[in-house]
Amino acid sequence: MADGTVVLGGFSHETNTFASEMTGRPLFQERREYFGDEIPEKMRNTNTCEGGVIDVAETKGIDLYYTVSASATPSGVVAADAYEFYTEKILEGVEARSSNLDGVMLCLHGAMVPEGMTDGEGPLVQKVRERVGADVPIVVTLDLHGNISDELIEQVDALVAYEEYPHTDMGDTGRRAMNILVRMMRGELNPAIHIERPPVLPMGPKQNTREGPMAEVMATARECEERDDIVKVNVFPAFHQADVPSMGFSVPVVATNKEAAREVSRELAAYVWERREDFLDNYPEPPEAVSRAKELVADGATEDGPVVMADVGDNPGGGGVADGTTVLREMIDQGLTNAGFAIMRDPEVIEACIEAGVGERMTADLGGKTDDMHGDPIEDLDGYVKTITDGEFANTGPMGTGSENHLGRTAHLQCGHEDGVSVILTENRLQPLDAEIWRHVGIQPERLDTLVVKSTNHYRADYEPMSCEVLPINSIGLVSMDPRNFKLEHIPRPQFPLDEMANDDYPDWE
């Protein structure tokens, strides 16, 4: 006899509202779309929210009813029919179990924007709430990049966000959330939530929870969780590539009573405001970054491992088109050798590589084809086709460990000075946050002198330990690290650093 029944659903998308490509169901199918019993088959023992939820449920004898787990690589707004399709799958599960239902667990992102709407998660949870009523607890897990709406806060009993960026604690997030839900199901907890919104937009790399101001905010959050009444302190430093009213820093705190939640939320919000200048920095643009890498190689620094550079502006993990050329062009122009570049999404050039064949040379215009925000194509590029793969591999690093990836047809093309730059060419978009992407095309990333990954901060989890230095590049694009590069018209203003703000312009949190 199971100790309760919980409906589990996963529907996750980080929507870059500036990206022109709409996110339909095929983009979920390309990344992850599991139904029913496929979910435990594919996700048990993986470092994902669903993996963590399954772990606790099986340990505690909770019966999970599986609906859907769908996730797409970040991109433009979610097509209305795709949003309805996955929402319906969750609702069908809730209805099928309505006579015997003790809780609902949803693994969401928090920054989903469907077509014609400004928030995906609030209305989704509201529909679930309408079906289960006020007495069945609903707990959600969220990505640290959620832009949290008031509507979502009103509908959930508790929310649990990743504590780490890079997100190496997805499994633990699922476990934490499931433990809270089980306490509620047993009548041991009836939580309250309070949310404050400090008007501060950090630069992308400054959201790193391993050092700098975010590390300190997170340490304070963990200390506050030691207090008697506090259940979970969530910190969302904002996904600034979305022009919606809920976009912004938020600190929703879950506690046993409203007063305690409010006190901690305000304390943290005041701290974030006080530290606002520390969330900005000066990062090099591509020419300066590549010449800095060259200097490090010349100085022998790379005996300890490669210089790892991040092409932040074109991070597919934030909606980047993944065919941006500004950094690759610089690597070729400055004559880097023993260098790698991941990724370049260019199906046309893949086709040309396959036509030429392994061991042959080919010439093509590479990249810069999706839009005019990520640099021009590199014209008449001559390259050597080293390998062609099916683009299938599973993460072996600390993030999403065990999760499967599908790059589509993939080629390792050597180009530039003495064919010294190895480019991983793909058909699909994927943030190359896991170093297995190199190994699956036959490259040992540790042996390169310089490598570039299209990533904002996640790459640090797998690459920082092997590197002599990491270098975030302030490259242009849809995922520019600087919120000042976006036209944000629908967010609450004023907002630092978009607007001039004096000390007394902030709400009184003292």
CB of 183 to Zn ion, least distance (A): 26
From the list 24-32, 88-96, 142-150, 407-415, the region that binds Zn ion by CB under 5 A is: 142-150
CB of 145 to Zn ion, least distance (A): 4
Nearer to Zn ion among residue 145 and residue 386 (C-beta)? 145
Q: How many residues does the chain have?
A: 510
Read off the tokens for 7: 């409906």
From the list 137-145, 228-236, 269-277, 391-399, the region that binds Zn ion by CB under 5 A is: 137-145
145 binds Zn ion (CB under 5 A): yes
C-alpha torsion sign, points 318, 319, 322, 327:
negative
Kindly state the DSSP code that residue 367 receives in the 8-state scheme: S
Cβ neighbour number for residue 484 with a 10 Å cutoff: 12
Binding mask 59-98 toward Zn ion (x if CB under 5 A, else -) reads: ----------------------------------------
CB of 290 to Zn ion, least distance (A): 27
From the list 138-146, 170-178, 286-294, 441-449, the region that binds Zn ion by CB under 5 A is: 138-146
User: Which residue in the block uniquely carries the two structure tokens 């003790």?
Assistant: 102
| Amino acid found at 333 | D
CB 344 within 8 A of CB 367: yes
How far is Cα 182 from Cα 6, in angstroms, rounded to an integer? 9
CB of 457 to Zn ion, least distance (A): 9
Report 302-361 residues binding Zn ion (CB under 5 A). Answer: none
CB of 166 to Zn ion, least distance (A): 9
Q: In 183-323, which ranges are E strands?
A: 192-196, 230-233, 251-255, 307-311
Residue selected from 30, 102, 119, 143 as contacting Zn ion according to rule CB under 5 A: 143
CB of 177 to Zn ion, least distance (A): 16
Give 502: exposed, middle or buried? Use CB within 10 Å, 0-12, 13-18, 19+: exposed
| Amino acid found at 454 | K
Among residues 129, 234, 133, the alpha carbon closest in space to that of 180 is found at: 234
CB of 143 to Zn ion, least distance (A): 4
From the list 76-84, 124-132, 139-147, 369-377, the region that binds Zn ion by CB under 5 A is: 139-147
CB of 458 to Zn ion, least distance (A): 8
Nearer to Zn ion among residue 89 and residue 458 (C-beta)? 458
The DSSP-derived string for 2-67 is: -S-EEEEEEEE--B-TT--S-B-HHHHHHHEEEETTHHHHHHTTSSSHHHHHHHHHHHHTPEEEEE
The number of residues that bind Zn ion (CB under 5 A) is: 2
Strand pairing report for 450-453 and 339-345: parallel
The three-state secondary structure class of 124 is helix
CB 72 within 8 A of CB 31: yes
Nearer to Zn ion among residue 93 and residue 202 (C-beta)? 202
Nearer to Zn ion among residue 62 and residue 77 (C-beta)? 77
Closest residue to Zn ion in the complex (CB): 145
CB of 68 to Zn ion, least distance (A): 21
From the list 55-63, 136-144, 151-159, 375-383, the region that binds Zn ion by CB under 5 A is: 136-144
Nearer to Zn ion among residue 319 and residue 367 (C-beta)? 319
175 binds Zn ion (CB under 5 A): no
CB of 266 to Zn ion, least distance (A): 25
Kindly state the DSSP code that residue 255 receives in the 8-state scheme: E
Cβ neighbour number for residue 190 with a 10 Å cutoff: 11
Nearer to Zn ion among residue 141 and residue 387 (C-beta)? 141
From the list 60-68, 140-148, 179-187, 282-290, the region that binds Zn ion by CB under 5 A is: 140-148
163 binds Zn ion (CB under 5 A): no
The three-state secondary structure class of 501 is coil
User: Which residue in the block uniquely carries the two structure tokens 């799958």?
Assistant: 89
The three-state secondary structure class of 113 is coil
Nearer to Zn ion among residue 30 and residue 143 (C-beta)? 143
Nearer to Zn ion among residue 140 and residue 413 (C-beta)? 140
Nearer to Zn ion among residue 315 and residue 387 (C-beta)? 315
Residues near Zn ion, by CB under 5 A? 143, 145
